[in-house]
Amino acid sequence: MPKIYLDYAAATPVDPKILRAMLPYFKKECGNPSSIHYFGQRALEAVDQARANAAKFLNCDPGEIIFTGSATEANNLAIFGLVKTGDHIITTQIEHPAVLEPCRALERRGVKVTYLPVDSDGLLHVDEIEKAIKADTVLVSVIYANNEIGAIQPIVEIGELIRDKNQKSKNKTYFHTDAVQALNYLDCDVKKLGVDMFSLSGHKIYGPKGVGALYLRKGTELNPIIYGGNQEHGMRSGTENVAGIVGLGKAFEEMQSPKLRIQNIKIRQLRDKLIKIILKSIPDCRLNGSLTQRLPNNVNISFRGVEGEAMVIALDQKGIALSTGSACSVRNLQPSHVLLSLGLSAQEAHGSLRISLGKYTTQQEIEKFLRVLPGVVERLRKISGYK
């Protein structure tokens, strides 16, 4: 039975062009970038080219790119590297665990953290930050686009607010965004966004797993959290994952193709079809998150009377792969903190599906999914006794 993959928010397939670019660095191009001989310099050249590709896409200086092992590491570096005991952080209730958990760890060390609410569409209101910001606020961290519900936050407006605050205050507030889900679909010009730090990951943009990066604006006072051989401008010690970095650099090159806009229009059309038909054909379900301020590849729907995990398993048995929410918290049986923040009950949050599309998703796959889903929901509702 052909398999259908609808979990692009968890991980994307590696683009064949990206894989081809990486392959030489697993064997033939074997040098360590810190070595001064021929092989080492070849590896360093490849890393530098990837850094240049990332910088071109983000509209920054190559020296402002720090390669990491993941976006989780980039988030941890941005938070732990900046914040010290006694400081104040502002973040939101719908952040990825890679931001929330560092904030909670810092709270246990005496850092003050404000977790701002969102509205029923999953959107943060900028005036909430304006009210929360204090003289000792050293960091504001707001996710660009949420990984579960696809809600797009007003990053430009937040950046302007923080810039205006900094012009009036001697105490600097830095602005960080976890932009993992945004890269394929949104404007990621860091100058336009007004961010000081910007986290990203390879496996959400058709690149490899195990590599990420942090954009770090020049002048941002950050300390490393990994010490050793002084790689990555002293901010991330450890021999570079050359093949992974090459793949990430190639992914940035591919995202500058004019084809991307056409791909995203197709993805948005498929998303809109999914939302319209599911809400029309299946009773007692609701769309989670904003309909307008939403990633073009994201659909998150709650179904009354059905457990999300049961739907995922039943659909997987029919050859369709998707998820209930964040892949990073799939082993956590608690209801989604994101959906609870929208005002859903624990039962409603447990009955959600996240359907995420990508550039390889076809019209035929969506049509098959739409044929299969109503029967799965109806059968599981009968089993649960829902009427």
Token look-up 């904003």 returns 290
How far apart CA 134 and CA 36 sit, in angstroms, is: 48
For 141-177, letters b (16+ CB in 10 Å) and e give: bbbbbbbbbbbbbbbeebbebbeebeeeeeeebbbbb
Please name which of 58, 49, 65, 79 lies closest in space to residue 215, comparing C-alpha atoms: 65
How far apart CA 202 and CA 365 sit, in angstroms, is: 25
Tell me whether residue 328 is one of the annotated catalytic residues. Answer: yes
Token look-up 């336009």 returns 192
C-beta of residue 106 within 8 angstroms of C-beta of residue 79: yes
C-beta of residue 38 within 8 angstroms of C-beta of residue 358: no
Q: Is 18 exposed, middle or buried (0-12, 13-18, 19+ CB in 10 A)?
A: buried
C-beta of residue 179 within 8 angstroms of C-beta of residue 54: no
How far apart CA 385 and CA 387 sit, in angstroms, is: 6
For residue 284, what are the CA distances in angstroms to 245, 292, 303, 360, 387?
46, 22, 6, 30, 10
C-beta of residue 211 within 8 angstroms of C-beta of residue 238: no
Q: Is 302 exposed, middle or buried (0-12, 13-18, 19+ CB in 10 A)?
A: buried
Q: Which residues contact 117 (CB under 8 A, 6 or more apart)?
A: 92, 93, 128, 341
Of the candidates 60, 188, 285, 328, the residue annotated as catalytic is: 328
How far apart CA 75 and CA 158 sit, in angstroms, is: 18
Active-site amino acid positions: 328
